[in-house]
Amino acid sequence: MKIVALNGLLGYGYSEEALEIAFSEKVDYLGVDAGSTDPGPYYLGSGKSFTDRGAVKRDIALALPKALEHKAPFIIGTAGGAGSSVHVKWLKEILLEVAKEQNLSFKLGTVLSDVDTGYVLEKFDDGKLSDMSSEFPAERKSIEESVRIVSQIGIAPIIELLKKNVDVIICGRACDTAIYAAPCIYSGYNPGLAFHMAKIMECGAMCSEPVAAADVMQAYIYDDYFELRPANPIRRCTVDRVAAHTLYEQSNPYLIYEPDGVCDLTNSEFKQVDERTVRVSGSVFHDAEEKTLKLEGVKCSGYRTICPATVYDSETIKNIDKITKTVTDFVKENTKKTLPANSYEIHFKLNGGEESSLGIIIDIVGKTQEIADTVCALVRSRMLHCDYEGRKSTAGNLAFPFSPSDIHVGPVYEFSVFHLAKVDSLIETAKITVEEV
């Protein structure tokens, strides 16, 4: 069976030539990941996508008719960047827009994976919520303050939709591997090979040389092995690159953990078949003794204003720690009667630190945007003219690359939930719908 990864992330782009080559022979399934927590919690909280709408539409507009022509179900994971129902709606609108413009008809399956705070609190109270890190324990207050929470689904909901003979699947928050492993396991292939293959191809042509998340990857799965070959003729898979991407984002070089269980790579073998193709065999799968789904939730922690600046004076650079402390003390003293206690945070992001150049970002997070604006203005002006021992200049300490110098970033979100929930069923958080487009 042949499965194609459109690229590493929907909206990253890919070679049209590579797409044509991939579909020059029979394709059984087309997949693409559309989101990640890599850009941080903001996008889940704000309901916005970190990928550009125009770029996402371009990627879909070229690939969708190919998939329909080949009767290859098109599976999209973690819609809209963060995978909440808001993000799924955003991506669905783009999909329907493309369908209308190209006069396409198909059967659409959708999986929403949002959960409410009540669901998470019940897991918390029942002792079914476990920490992924000792540094980030689950807390009732943080759960209650969450503005949006999603569960990261595995293969089960995707397989349920494949059973319904859908042509296109849009998933909420989903494991990257589920996109590619689900159709293989549904078709009866070895789950150890399926999950290992999915882990490598989830980032498109990142497992090839030259490395590129923005290109098409082809995978062929057989009973006892799978093979990977980039569609673009300028790239090639090598044992080194394929093995390296097996380790990508993994804390253990032999085990890949999924909601369904563990993919064991202890006896995996990598073989160069030809100049551009690598064969992998020996991977096995062990079912999980306890089924879990990862939950991701965010809360609003304030509003941000920043001010980028540069220092070009060596004496100022040498005294930067004294300057930032002087400025921080000054602002706290000047605002103690006008702003509520603990209503803002002051951070300095320092880059470089060479003798002749230092980049600084004044980073203020306030309980309101007005507080953040006020504090940033005070910090910026005080830092600009702050005196220190040995200072010769009476002019400003800072050079500003922008005018206005202060940039209003807006709401700041932080993770409030990033934990594993024990579940009775790996489909218990999935809301599945099917419709004709």
CB-CB contact of 34 with 135 (8 Å): no
What percent of the chain stands above pLDDT 70? 100
Residue 355 pLDDT: 76
Q: Which CATH number fits domain 300-415: 3.40.50.1220, 1.10.10.10, 3.30.70.600, 3.30.750.24?
A: 3.30.70.600
* pLDDT for position 385: 94
Alpha helices in 4-47 (DSSP H): 16-22, 42-46
Angle at 96 between CA 93 and CA 102, to 5 degrees: 140
DSSP bridge partners of 255: 264
pLDDT at 353 (0 to 100): 67
Q: How many whole angstroms separate alpha carbon 170 and alpha carbon 35?
A: 12
Residue type, 287: D
Look at residue 81 in the predicted model and tell me its pLDDT.
97
Pairing verdict, β 2-5 and 29-35: parallel
What is the sign of the dihedral through the CA atoms of 74, 75, 77 and 79?
A: positive
3-class DSSP state for residue 61?
Answer: helix
Residue 335 corresponds to which tokens in the numbers above? 């605002």
> For the chain, first and last CA: distance in Å?
27
Q: Is 410 helix (H, G, I), strand (E, B) or coil?
A: strand
CA gap 35, 76 in Å, rounded: 9
Question: Closest Cα partner for 409 from 349, 353, 323?
Answer: 349
Query: Is residue 76 a contact partner of residue 169, using CB atoms and an 8 Å limit?
Result: yes
Instruction: Please give the full DSSP string across 127-164, using - where no structure is assigned.
Output: T-EEES-TTS---HHHHHH-SEEEEEB-SHHHHHHHHT
- Angle, helix 176-186 to helix 191-201, in steps of 10 degrees: 150
Portions of the chain given CATH number 3.30.70.600: 300-415
**Which pLDDT belongs to residue 6?**
98
For tokens 């879909």, name the residue.
60
- Going from the first residue of the chain to its last (437 residues), give the mean pLDDT of each consecutive group of 10, the final group possibly shorter: 98 98 98 97 97 98 98 98 98 98 98 98 97 94 98 98 98 98 98 98 96 96 98 98 93 93 97 98 96 97 97 92 97 95 96 85 98 98 94 90 96 98 97 98
Strand partners, 74: 30, 168
Query: What's the alpha-carbon Rg for the chain, to the nearest Å?
Result: 25
Question: Which amino acid makes up residue 186?
Answer: Y
Angle, helices 156-163 vs 176-186, to 10°: value is 50
Residue 70, SS3 per DSSP = coil
pTM value is 0.94
φ/ψ (deg, to 5) at 127: 70, 25
Four-CA torsion 219, 220, 223, 224, nearest 10 degrees = -60
Give 10-25 pLDDT, tens digit per residue: 999 999 999 999 999 9
Using one digit for the tens of pLDDT, what is the confidence trace for 147-156? 999 999 999 9
Helix H or strand E segment including 241: helix 239-246
Rounded to 5 degrees, what are φ and ψ at 141?
-60, -45
| Residue-level pLDDT at 387 | 93
- Dihedral sign computed on CA atoms, order 162, 4, 37, 12: negative
What's the confidence (pLDDT) of residue 108? 98
pLDDT at 394: 82
